[in-house]
Structure 1
Amino acid sequence: MDEGKCCGAGACVMAAPEVFDQRDADGVVVLLDAEPAEHLHAAVREAVSVCPAGAIGLR
């Protein structure tokens, strides 16, 4: 997750709310879980694909 690239659209939060959240102050997305459980992997892949800024990647 590259906070510097984040535009605050929140698409990732909508796709995977267990893994991503947004700061109240500026809307920048924060990573809640760097190693989400397997049942969340599809949602995380969706979050990566819908990020308009390309701020999220998979390792």
Structure 2
Amino acid sequence: MTYLEQFARNRRRREKTEVLTARIPESLYGDFKGYCDELNLSISEAAGFTGKKWNRRE
């Protein structure tokens, strides 16, 4: 396996997605966007990771 192959995304394994639309205050959006930028994540990725973590709660 080459170096870049370990990061390749396998499209066949991906679960179908749905679009999430949410309205939040501008201040919260700005703070969340800034935090996502610091982590080099898109807002969609961060929301997806948060949803997965919530789904696994005990």
TM-score scaled by length of structure 2:
0.26
More strand by share: 1
| Greater RCO (Cα-Cα under 8 Å, separation 6 or more) | 1
TM-score scaled by length of structure 1:
0.25
